Amino acid sequence: MKFFLVISLLISSCLCNSINIGDVYVTWKNMGEETYFKVTAYLKEFNNHDCWISIGINRSPLMNGANSVVCRMNNNETWARHYLNNGRSPSLLDENEPSLGLSDTCVSVIKDNITCQFIRKNQVDDKMKSYFKINETNEYYLIYAAGEGDFGMHSRQGQTRMPVKFHLNPLISPPDTTKSYDNNESHESNFKKIMGAHREKKDCAEIFKFLNSHYVKYDRQQTSFYKQTDILSRKLDVDCT
Ligand SMILES: *[C@@H]1O[C@H](CO)[C@@H](O)[C@H](O)[C@H]1NC(C)=O
Ligand SMILES: *[C@@H]1O[C@H](CO)[C@@H](O)[C@H](O)[C@H]1NC(C)=O
Ligand SMILES: *[C@@H]1O[C@H](CO)[C@@H](O)[C@H](O)[C@H]1NC(C)=O
Ligand SMILES: *[C@@H]1O[C@H](CO)[C@@H](O)[C@H](O)[C@H]1NC(C)=O
């Protein structure tokens, strides 16, 4: 649980794009090949052991036609699947691969909030017209829904008033496998710059130091960053609150 607090503190203070849709908070970061999303909703009326949240992108401010990622929390089981909202009956974008284009998914409930984080490929097979491509110019409305029990019976739904953009915002300066990061842009300063973290506490300084010395091993794969942060923050047992 501490990890989620740490991560959400870091992410909520970052320079990435974010928006509130009612009391649902969405943040995203286009990393070029894929986009990181995080969506948090206040559960108030829901049973927080049995609920779901979805966030979709669409060319119109409607649920119908959206590419929606649905995240489900059912007791100790969680999953995330990628749907196409087709009229009243959403269907999986790919029957054979329910989480098509998704990786690093993480569904959590902290106090009264459900949070879903995932990384979505900006593009899959060109032949798949129903998979909306994210790039710097394409704009989409963000559409969320949430509910109790099985996905489908949503009691809450909303969308952005305007379409949003997905500015290219790489997590780390683009990985260059021909060079090591032995220039003056250390991982720590990169990390702080990108995440907008200016924390003074000793414990937080420790995690930056640790990441700085260890992240070098993983920086060839930008998306593993969050996973590694998880492992490292657990290892360090840091608390930045
Ligand atoms: C719950 O989420 C809302 C945003 O939807 C946020 O303002 C609030 O701080 C969160 N509460 C906790 C305990 O994380
Ligand atoms: C959830 O996991 C905890 C710890 O692993 C276990 O004690 C509990 O029985 C599980 N609950 C359900 C509903 O599976
Ligand atoms: C983004 O994708 C659209 C097609 O979906 C294309 O027309 C446009 O040129 C692309 N923009 C960039 C910056 O590649
Ligand atoms: C890093 O900074 C030091 C001193 O500020 C300088 O001597 C060195 O050339 C710099 N290294 C690079 C790769 O820019």
Counting the structural domains of the chain, the total is 1
pLDDT surpassing 60 at residue 166: yes
Pocket of ligand 3 (CB under 6 A): 133, 135-138
Range of the domain at 144: 22-165
CA of 189 to the centre of ligand 4 (A): 14
Pocket probe mutation, ligand 3, options 30, 130, 138, 166, max atoms within 8 Å of Cβ: 138
Evaluate if residue 212 carries a pLDDT over 80.
no
Q: What is the pLDDT of residues 43-93, one digit of tens each?
A: 777 787 888 999 999 999 988 999 999 999 888 788 999 999 987 778 999
Average pLDDT over residues 180-200: 40
pLDDT band at 168 (very low <50, low <70, confident <90, very high): confident
Structural domain includes residue 177: no
Spacing, Cα 156 to ligand 1 middle (Å): 17
Exposed/middle/buried for 19, CB within 10 Å: 0-12, 13-18, 19+? middle
With 0-12 CB in 10 A as exposed, 13-18 as middle and 19+ as buried, what is 148? middle
pLDDT at residue 139, as a whole number: 92
Asked if 50 and 145 touch (Cβ cutoff 8 Å), the reply is no
Nearest CA to ligand 3 atom 11: 137
**229 has a pLDDT exceeding 70:** no
Distance CA 222, CA 147 (A): 33
CATH at 30: 2.60.40.1210
In a domain, residue 237? The reply is no
